[in-house]
A and B are shown apart, each in its own frame.
Chain A
């Protein structure tokens, strides 16, 4: 969702560096927050506020205990979240085959995110928003150069 919001508006929703981890792009700060919740539950038996964590093997599932208020999000954020959800769930809903499809999506030079990811991965550095936007424009025949100018500031 950060990718889609940044491409269209020049501002991420969650924010932080988009790191090129082995399995795909990850916002480290967001991952650390979730890990922190799981560690706190495991080692101190303190559950996170507003979420229930259930473990199944080495997988952990987080279930919200509240219904999000639509007033918490702006229209542009909701659009970006829907876009990301639709994209991911169209793959992940297919089970293991979908997981493989998603993995390929994030690692392929035929997708904008895969193209920017591979470049960062090759150079062992976080992904660059300008490269994400360039790759998006190359593959979608769009022009978001002005968004790149916004990101300079």
Chain B
């Protein structure tokens, strides 16, 4: 599943809309997924400010901006836009839960590299947030990406 992009609502919000979610690591039935938000959204900007004031981390430590149109190979008619992949708002979702939602596309190696680097930077900044298993998977993936071995299918 790693590298696949799904359209999934943000959990814990009753009124939420679907957002693109990228699967970054898989451990058993659980997956580390990163949501994307339109970069110009006021809610995103407020949340990023909160991350600075509450959790003491700067934007670059908890998020990464990508042109989704450039980095995602969309499988349907959807097109991408400039988006912020909000690593600090990561979710852990089961494979069965993810598969209830439509797959939208595949992240390319360059986009994946930036997001995985951000995941590991987030871990350095907030070491209590991610399970060790996911950190190890992200480190392995980083190695694969740098060695040109990333193949999301």
Contacts and interface: CB of A to CB of B under 8 A. Distances in A.
Interface of A: 2, 6, 9-13, 15-17, 29, 69-77, 79, 125-126, 128-129, 146-147, 149-153
B139 interface: no
Given A11-B90, A72-B30, A146-B54, A151 B13 contact: yes
Contacts of A13: 92
Contacts, number: 77
B12 A6 contact: yes
Given A149-B47, A152-B47, A76 B129 contact: yes
Nearest to A12: B12
Interface of B: 10-14, 27-28, 30, 37, 41, 43-44, 46-47, 49-51, 53-54, 86, 89-93, 97, 127-133, 136
A149 B14 CA distance: 15
7 smallest CB-CB distances across A and B, nearest first, come from A15-B11, A153-B47, A75-B128, A71-B132, A146-B54, A149-B50, A71-B133
Interface SS majority for chain A: helix
A16 B46 contact: no
Contacts of A129: 12-13
A16 B12 contact: yes
Contact of B43 (A79, A125, A152): A152
A139 B27 CA distance: 39
Given A15-B93, A129-B13, 8 more contacts: A72-B28, A74-B128, A74-B129, A74-B130, A77-B131, A129-B12, A151-B12, A153-B43
Contacts of B11: 12, 15-16
